[in-house]
Structure 1
Amino acid sequence: MQTDGSDPTEPASDLVLDTAAVLYAGGQSTGMTLAAVDRLNSGLGTSGTLVPTWASLQFVGRGGEVRVAPGSPTGVNMRRVAATMAVVDRAQDGPLDADTVRDELASAREQPVSNTLLFSVACATGAGALAIIFGAQQPAVVLVAALSAALGGLARRAVARLHGEVLTQAFTAALIAGLVGVAADRLHVDDATGLVVLCPAMVLVPGPHILNGALDLLSLRVALGAARLGYSALTLTAIATGLILGLSAGGLGIAVGQTGASVPMGVDVLAAGIAAGSYPVFFSMPYRMIVWPVAVGMLVHAVHWWALTAWHVDLATAAFCSALIAGVLVVPIAHTLRIPFAAVGFASVVALVPGVYVFRMLSGLVNFASAPTPELLTALAFDGAIAALVVAGLASGLALPMHAYAVASANRVTRV
Structure 2
Amino acid sequence: MPSGDQSDDAIDIVLDAATLLYVNGQSTTMTLTAVERLNRGLGTSSTLIPAWASLLLVGPRNTIRVAAVSPTAVSMRRVAATMASVDRAQDGPLDPAVVRRELAAAHQESVSNFLVFAAACATGAGALAVIFGAHHPVTVVMAALSAALGGLTRRGLGRLGFGILTQGFVAALIAGLIGVAAVHDDALSLVVLCPAMVLVPGPHILNGALDLLDLRMTLGIARLGYAALVLSAIAAGLIIGLAADGRSLSVAQTGAAVPLYVDVLAAGVAAGSYPVFFSMPYRMIGWPVAVGMLGHATHWWALTVWHTDIATAALISCLITGTLLIPISHSLRIPFAAIGFASVVALVPGVYVFRMLAGLVQFATAPTSELLTTLTSDGAVAALIISGMATGLAVPMHLYAVLADRRR
TM over 0.5: yes
1:197-241: CA deviation from partner (whole Å, max 9, x where unpaired): 000000111110111111111111111111111111111111111
Cα distance in 1 between the residues matched to 2:171 and 2:28: 29
CA offset at residue 412 of structure 1?
4.7
CA offset at residue 268 of structure 1?
0.3
1:307-338: CA deviation from partner (whole Å, max 9, x where unpaired): 11111110010011101111111110111111
Question: Hey, what does 1:308 align to over in structure 2?
Answer: 303
Cα distance in 2 between the residues matched to 1:248 and 1:380: 19
Question: Hey, what does 1:400 align to over in structure 2?
Answer: 395
Question: Hey, what does 2:163 align to over in structure 1?
Answer: 165
Cα distance in 2 between the residues matched to 1:100 and 1:373: 65
Conservation of the 8 A alpha-carbon contact between 2:352 and 2:381 = yes
CA offset at residue 288 of structure 1?
0.8
Question: Hey, what does 2:48 align to over in structure 1?
Answer: 50
Conservation of the 8 A alpha-carbon contact between 1:27 and 1:73 = yes
3-state secondary structure, aligned to 1:59: strand
Cα distance in 1 between the residues matched to 2:348 and 2:298: 15
Conservation of the 8 A alpha-carbon contact between 1:141 and 1:189 = no
1:18-65: CA deviation from partner (whole Å, max 9, x where unpaired): 001001111000111111111111111111111111111111012112
3-state secondary structure, aligned to 1:47: coil
Cα distance in 1 between the residues matched to 2:264 and 2:122: 18
Aligned counterpart in structure 1 of residue 20 of structure 2, from 12, 19, 22: 22
Conservation of the 8 A alpha-carbon contact between 1:22 and 1:109 = yes
CA offset at residue 194 of structure 1?
0.6
CA offset at residue 407 of structure 1?
3.4
1:336-355: CA deviation from partner (whole Å, max 9, x where unpaired): 11100000110110011111
Question: Hey, what does 1:199 align to over in structure 2?
Answer: 194
Conservation of the 8 A alpha-carbon contact between 1:360 and 1:383 = yes
CA offset at residue 408 of structure 1?
3.5
Cα distance in 2 between the residues matched to 1:177 and 1:403: 39
CA offset at residue 156 of structure 1?
0.5
Cα distance in 2 between the residues matched to 1:189 and 1:155: 27
Aligned counterpart in structure 2 of residue 246 of structure 1, from 230, 241, 250: 241
User: Which amino acid is the alignment partner of residue 203 of structure 2?
Assistant: P
3-state secondary structure, aligned to 2:62: coil
3-state secondary structure, aligned to 2:57: strand
Cα distance in 2 between the residues matched to 1:132 and 1:43: 49
CA offset at residue 406 of structure 1?
2.3
Aligned-residue Cα RMSD (Å) equals 1.5
Report % sequence identity.
Answer: 70
Question: Hey, what does 2:101 align to over in structure 1?
Answer: 103
CA offset at residue 411 of structure 1?
4.7
3-state secondary structure, aligned to 2:94: coil
- Give the 5 Å matches for 1:73-92: 73-92=71-90
TM-score of the superposed pair, with normalisation by structure 2:
0.97
User: Which amino acid is the alignment partner of residue 59 of structure 2?
Assistant: G
CA offset at residue 375 of structure 1?
2.2
Change (3 A) 1:111 1:7: closer
CA offset at residue 193 of structure 1?
3.1
- Give the 5 Å matches for 1:352-363: 352-363=347-358
3-state secondary structure, aligned to 1:253: coil
3-state secondary structure, aligned to 2:280: coil
Q: Does 1:226 align with 2:224?
A: no
Question: Hey, what does 1:94 align to over in structure 2?
Answer: 92
Q: How many residues align?
A: 405
User: Which amino acid is the alignment partner of residue 127 of structure 1?
Assistant: A
TM-score of the superposed pair, with normalisation by structure 1:
0.95
3-state secondary structure, aligned to 2:66: strand
User: Which amino acid is the alignment partner of residue 380 of structure 1?
Assistant: L
Conservation of the 8 A alpha-carbon contact between 2:315 and 2:388 = yes
3-state secondary structure, aligned to 1:10: helix
Cα distance in 1 between the residues matched to 2:335 and 2:233: 25
Question: Hey, what does 2:380 align to over in structure 1?
Answer: 385
User: Which amino acid is the alignment partner of residue 357 of structure 1?
Assistant: Y
User: Which amino acid is the alignment partner of residue 298 of structure 2?
Assistant: V
Question: Hey, what does 1:3 align to over in structure 2?
Answer: none
Cα distance in 2 between the residues matched to 1:77 and 1:43: 25
Conservation of the 8 A alpha-carbon contact between 1:320 and 1:397 = yes
User: Which amino acid is the alignment partner of residue 216 of structure 1?
Assistant: D
Conservation of the 8 A alpha-carbon contact between 2:24 and 2:75 = yes
Cα distance in 1 between the residues matched to 2:367 and 2:374: 12
1:113-150: CA deviation from partner (whole Å, max 9, x where unpaired): 00000000000000000000001111111110001100
3-state secondary structure, aligned to 1:193: helix
Query: Where do 5+ consecutive residues of structure 2 fail to align?
Result: none
Cα distance in 2 between the residues matched to 1:47 and 1:64: 10
CA offset at residue 377 of structure 1?
1.9
